[in-house]
């Protein structure tokens, strides 16, 4: 990058009302562990206010209300950290929940207009991938994206991503949530499974890899049956604390442990196969489930065994965040890929298309 | 050549043992079963299940990945139709698991295969192959057409129909 840039990013596709300022030349310590020349000297300041449902999962209209209230606040907080004028406003254009996308799109347009700067519409999924590639400095990596609604492995080559393998049913986080909801645990289930898995023993669960694709529905059904025991049709919540011999189900600790062992080994196996197919020796992890220590450990062990480099971004860049929107927004701004602010109907139309395709 | 399934350090040792044993047994069984259907595959000389090793005859001069052509894609389509007709799938028919020489196109590495009669499973085989072609070829369309035409010649049309629905399920196309 030649000129210093400050880009404000706004994220709000689902639960995270987030704003960030990406400064290409702030030179603070945030990027020091990475190899990229850009990431050595830049800085990303992120402000996030998460939507927390009272019970169950995300309610799209409640989430949109949260965005309407929280986005102006996080934007203001992020702008307070900027030590100079903003050059562009980047926002998460989709895919995501329709009501959230409309709210955030409107906020971004209004802000770009009032600051009189260009507006950049960023694809949320590409941002998840790009932030890791940017911070790793890798040229042609394989990217494993493991998030709530997604699970796929991609190759990056000649300036474009290609999907090499992906889940044939649900995203990895949502799959785990199906199991934890069965136990009466609140969303998100992944961190709770990770905690309960400690000290568990391996029980037999399905392991489903088809080439570089994979599926989770069979293993989640088996996991539910394993905690219930075969004959049990009773209240699943009763099993929450059961390591007793009262029923014939497996201990919750053991099922959590085995779930992690199987699901993350499946993801690691397809990532390894993708490295082998593409001939790449660089792996980048992305997505919120990438915060799981066991998954990170497996990927690191796999890469070490085959002599590949593995890069896992810090957790703040893995879960939904505006930092990744600002970083990709800066690249797109430099490439001239901006949206005409006055054409607000056009921008709105794009948002709703993204909403239906997400 | 001796093929050994190397233990994977990232996997739980018990899970790793289970997968290596299962895959070694299946590979031996299905490699021979495919040859009985007229599909060129390596001859299996020896199997050691506890060690996870197979002794196989080396086949081909190169991976299909390095010698991709419409004619080779047609061969793969024909071979997959033959094993599907016999009631099993390859499980991982990527361009790296096809070997070629001057005369023949071989399928190798049946370790992820299994017996099935479900059109969905057959469609997944086709999907995996097309995905790997797209991942390596700059112009995959003619290769995919040749592959599907050859499969349609011998295979079940319902499988190609199911392939379209499998593709539709992917999120990023």
DSSP string, A246-314: SSSSPPHHHHHHHHHHHHHHHHHHHHHHHHHHHT--EEEEESGGGG-HHHHHHHHHHHHHHT-EEE---
The total number of structural domains in chain A stands at 2
- Residue A123 falls inside a structural domain: yes
- Residue A203 falls inside a structural domain: yes
Q: Domain check: are A103 and A160 in the same one?
A: no
Segment B68-89 shows an average pLDDT of 96
Looking at residue A42, its pLDDT comes to 72
Q: What are phi and psi of A203, to 5 degrees?
A: -115, 160
Q: Domain check: are A129 and A146 in the same one?
A: no
Q: Domain check: are A156 and A261 in the same one?
A: yes
Looking at residue A241, its pLDDT comes to 47
Q: Domain check: are A155 and A103 in the same one?
A: no
Q: Domain check: are A95 and A197 in the same one?
A: no
- For tokens 């489930």, the residue is A289
Q: Which of A249, A279, A309 is the last residue of a domain?
A: A279
Instruction: Give the count of alpha carbons within 13 A of A26, CB side only.
Output: 19
Looking at per-residue pLDDT, the higher value among A163 and A345 belongs to A163
Looking at residue B169, its pLDDT comes to 74
DSSP H helical segments within A216-251, as ranges? 217-228
Q: What are phi and psi of A157, to 5 degrees?
A: -155, 140
Q: Which residues pair with A195 in a beta bridge?
A: none
Q: Domain check: are A153 and A261 in the same one?
A: yes
Q: Domain check: are A162 and A238 in the same one?
A: yes
Q: Domain check: are A155 and A275 in the same one?
A: yes
Looking at residue B10, its pLDDT comes to 97
Catalytic positions of B, written as ranges: 92
Helix H, strand E, coil C: the string for A323-339 is: HHHHHHHHHHHHCCCCE
Residue A27 banded pLDDT, cuts 50, 70, 90: low
State the smallest CA–CA distance between residue A301 and chain B in angstroms: 5
- Residue A293 falls inside a structural domain: no
* Structural domain that includes position A161: 142-279
CATH match of B62-169 with 1.10.510.10: yes
Q: How far apart are the first and last CA of chain A?
A: 32
Per-chain mean pLDDT for chain A:
86
What percentage of chain A has pLDDT greater than the value 90?
71
Q: Which residues pair with A6 in a beta bridge?
A: A23
Rg of chain A over all Cα atoms, to the nearest angstrom? 21
Q: Domain check: are A159 and A75 in the same one?
A: no
Residues from B in contact with A at Cβ < 8 Å: 8-12, 14-15, 18-19, 65, 91-96, 112, 124, 127-128, 131-132, 134-136, 166, 169-172
Looking at residue A354, its pLDDT comes to 39
Q: What are phi and psi of A342, to 5 degrees?
A: -65, -25
Residue B171 banded pLDDT, cuts 50, 70, 90: low
How far, in Å, CA of A325 to CA of A320, rounded? 9
Q: Which of A279, A299, A329 is the last residue of a domain?
A: A279
Q: Which of A252, A279, A306 is the last residue of a domain?
A: A279
CATH number of the domain that A67 lies in?
3.30.420.40
Give the nearest chain B residue to A214 (CA atoms).
B124
* CATH of segment(s) B2-56: 3.30.200.20
Which pairs count as long-range contacts for B21-25, CB under 8 Å and 24+ apart, including other chains? Answer: B21/B49, B21/B50, B21/B52, B23/B111, B23/B112, B24/B48, B24/B49, B24/B52, B24/B53, B24/B54, B24/B111, B25/B49
**Residues of chain B contacting A150 with CB distance shorter than 8 Å:** 171
- Residue A207 falls inside a structural domain: yes
- Residue A28 falls inside a structural domain: yes
A210–B92 C-beta distance less than 8 A: yes
- Residue A326 falls inside a structural domain: yes
Q: Domain check: are A231 and A212 in the same one?
A: yes
- Residue A238 falls inside a structural domain: yes
Contacts of A77 (CB under 8 A, 6+ apart): A19, A47
B131–A212 C-beta distance less than 8 A: yes
Per-chain mean pLDDT for chain B:
93
A301–B94 C-beta distance less than 8 A: no
- Residue A332 falls inside a structural domain: yes
How far, in Å, CA of A178 to CA of A259, rounded? 12
Q: Domain check: are A43 and A15 in the same one?
A: yes
Q: Which of A178, A161, A172, A151 is nearest to A123 (CA)?
A: A161
What are the sequence ranges of the domains in chain B? 2-56, 62-169
A262–B15 C-beta distance less than 8 A: yes
Q: Domain check: are A191 and A223 in the same one?
A: yes
């Amino acid at each position: 990058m030649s000129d210093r840039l400050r880009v404000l990013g706004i994220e709000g596709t689902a639960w995270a009302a987030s704003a960030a300022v990406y400064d290409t030349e702030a030179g603070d310590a945030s990027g020091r562990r990475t190899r990229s020349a850009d990431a050595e000297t830049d800085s990303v300041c992120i402000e996030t206010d998460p939507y927390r449902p009272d019970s169950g999962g995300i309610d799209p209209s409640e989430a949109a209300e949260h965005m309407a209230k929280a986005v102006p606040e996080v934007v203001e907080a992020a702008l307070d950290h900027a030590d100079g004028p903003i050059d562009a406003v980047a926002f998460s254009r989709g895919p995501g929940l329709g009501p959230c996308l409309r709210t955030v799109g409107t906020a971004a347009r209004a802000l770009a207009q009032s600051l009189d700067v260009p507006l950049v519409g960023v694809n949320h999924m590409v941002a998840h991938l790009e932030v890791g590639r940017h911070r790793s400095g890798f040229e042609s990596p394989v990217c494993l994206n493991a998030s709530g609604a997604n699970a796929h492995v991609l190759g990056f080559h000649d300036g474009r991503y290609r999907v090499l393998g992906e889940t044939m049913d649900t995203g990895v986080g949502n799959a785990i949530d199906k199991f934890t909801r069965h136990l009466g645990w609140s969303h998100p289930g992944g961190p709770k499974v990770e905690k309960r898995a400690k000290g568990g023993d391996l029980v037999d669960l399905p392991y489903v890899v088809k080439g570089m694709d994979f599926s989770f529905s069979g293993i989640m059904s088996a996991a539910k049956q394993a905690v219930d025991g075969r004959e049990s049709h009773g209240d699943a919540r009763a099993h929450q604390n059961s390591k007793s011999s009262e029923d014939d189900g497996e201990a919750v600790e053991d099922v959590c442990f085995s779930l992690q062992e199987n699901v993350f080994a499946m993801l690691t196996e397809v990532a390894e196969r993708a490295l082998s197919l593409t001939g790449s020796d660089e792996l980048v992890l992305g997505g919120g489930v990438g915060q799981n220590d066991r998954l990170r450990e497996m990927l690191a062990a796999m890469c070490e065994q085959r002599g590949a480099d593995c890069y896992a971004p810090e957790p703040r860049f893995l879960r939904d965040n505006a930092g990744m929107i600002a970083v990709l927004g800066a690249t797109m701004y430099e490439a001239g890929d901006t949206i005409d602010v006055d054409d607000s109907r056009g921008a709105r139309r794009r948002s709703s298309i993204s909403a239906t395709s997400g | 050549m001796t093929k050994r399934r190397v233990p994977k350090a990232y996997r739980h040792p018990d899970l790793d043992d289970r997968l290596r044993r299962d895959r070694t047994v299946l590979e031996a069984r299905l490699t021979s079963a495919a040859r009985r259907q007229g599909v060129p595959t390596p001859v299996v000389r020896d199997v050691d299940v506890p060690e996870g090793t197979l002794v196989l005859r080396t086949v081909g001069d190169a991976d299909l990945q390095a010698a991709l052509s419409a004619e080779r894609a047609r061969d793969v389509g024909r071979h997959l139709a033959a094993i599907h007709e016999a009631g099993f799938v390859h499980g991982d028919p990527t361009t790296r698991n096809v070997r070629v020489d001057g005369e023949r196109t071989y399928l190798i590495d049946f370790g992820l295969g299994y017996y099935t009669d479900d059109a969905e499973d057959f469609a997944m085989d086709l999907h995996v192959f097309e995905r790997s072609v797209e991942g390596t070829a700059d112009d995959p369309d003619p290769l995919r057409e040749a592959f599907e035409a050859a499969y349609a010649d011998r295979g079940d049309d319902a499988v190609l129909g199911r392939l379209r629905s499998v593709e539709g399920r992917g999120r990023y196309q």
